[in-house]
């Protein structure tokens, strides 16, 4: 089983431990970074918001890191930028990409494809499924050692819709939809079990978007955007 199934959240540091001594400049930077909580802040924005000289900011950031008061994290949308977070916070999924990215900020393609196959199997077995019933089926199967929320499973199911493997529709409460409340979004397999054994060759399978479970939230100018996606840029260059 791939390494990602053994992931676990680190505990926050004990906030009762006395804070190390800080210079006035370090206090300004630390208070700013801490105020951003789990979203953190880019080093350029730190310089812009504090108006401190570049050399002072750089020296103070280095000192704060050595005192373990702040940490540098990878922002999956802007990997070349230095992004800082107060040590008592864990970065939000907007920064890390959640379970879909590893600690180095690279897309967990193997994990995503594994989870797609699991969701597809459960949708096929259920005939008609909602995101919640698929999420519950995945949890009951215990194939993962980490928990995936219904929202995360929803990302995977919507990716399957874009792969043309699954059909998305609203229940009318009749016939095969009798078990799903009227108006609830539900899903059924488009292809037969035998066809599912064949490699995916839909148009989305040829581009990075085809394996990205965050595509439903991708939009120009958004936090997740084709303009800032390095995978999409590399695909266009290729």
Least confident of 33-47, 81-95, 134-148, 190-204: 190-204
Sign of CA pseudo-dihedral 42, 46, 48, 53: negative
* pLDDT category of residue 175 using cuts at 50, 70 and 90: confident
CA distance 149 to 153: 6
Mean pLDDT of the region 58-84:
84
Check whether 82 has a pLDDT greater than 80: yes
Closest CA to 7 of 85, 71, 96: 96
* pLDDT category of residue 13 using cuts at 50, 70 and 90: very low
Angle, in degrees to the nearest 10, between helices 109-126 and 150-162: 90
Give the pair of three-digit tokens for residue 102. 């590893």
- Chain segment 147-160, per-residue pLDDT in tens: 778 888 888 898 89
- Measuring CA to CA, how many Å separate 117 from each of 114, 120, 123, 137? 5, 5, 10, 13
Task: Give residue 98's pLDDT.
Answer: 62
Angle, in degrees to the nearest 10, between helices 131-141 and 109-126: 110
Mean pLDDT of the region 193-216:
54
Least confident of 23-32, 148-157, 195-204, 219-228: 195-204
Residue % of the chain over a pLDDT of 70: 67
Check whether 11 has a pLDDT greater than 70: no
- Average pLDDT of the residues of the chain: 76
Task: Give residue 124's pLDDT.
Answer: 92
Task: Give residue 201's pLDDT.
Answer: 46
User: What pTM does this model have?
Assistant: 0.47
């Amino acid at each position: 089983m791939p390494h990602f199934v053994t992931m676990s959240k680190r505990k926050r540091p004990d906030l009762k431990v006395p804070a190390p001594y800080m210079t006035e400049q370090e206090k300004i930077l630390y208070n700013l970074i801490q105020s951003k909580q789990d979203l953190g802040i880019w080093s350029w924005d730190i310089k812009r918001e504090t108006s401190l000289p570049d050399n002072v900011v750089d020296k103070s950031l280095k000192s704060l890191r050595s005192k373990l008061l702040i940490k540098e994290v990878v922002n999956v949308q802007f990997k070349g930028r230095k992004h800082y977070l107060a040590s008592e916070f864990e970065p939000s999924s907007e920064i890390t990409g959640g379970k879909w990215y590893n600690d180095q900020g690279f897309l967990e393609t193997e994990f995503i494809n594994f989870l797609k196959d699991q969701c597809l199997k459960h949708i096929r077995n259920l005939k008609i499924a909602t995101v919640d019933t698929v999420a519950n089926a995945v949890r009951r199967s215990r194939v993962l050692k980490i928990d995936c929320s219904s929202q995360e499973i929803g990302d995977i199911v919507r990716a399957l819709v874009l792969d043309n493997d699954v059909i998305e529709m609203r229940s009318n409460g009749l016939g095969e939809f009798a078990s799903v409340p009227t108006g609830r979004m539900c899903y059924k397999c488009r292809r037969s079990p035998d066809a599912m054994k064949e490699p995916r060759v839909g148009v989305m399978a040829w581009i990075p978007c085809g394996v990205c479970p965050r595509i439903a939230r991708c939009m120009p100018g958004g936090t997740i955007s084709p303009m800032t996606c390095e995978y999409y840029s590399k695909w266009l260059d290729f």
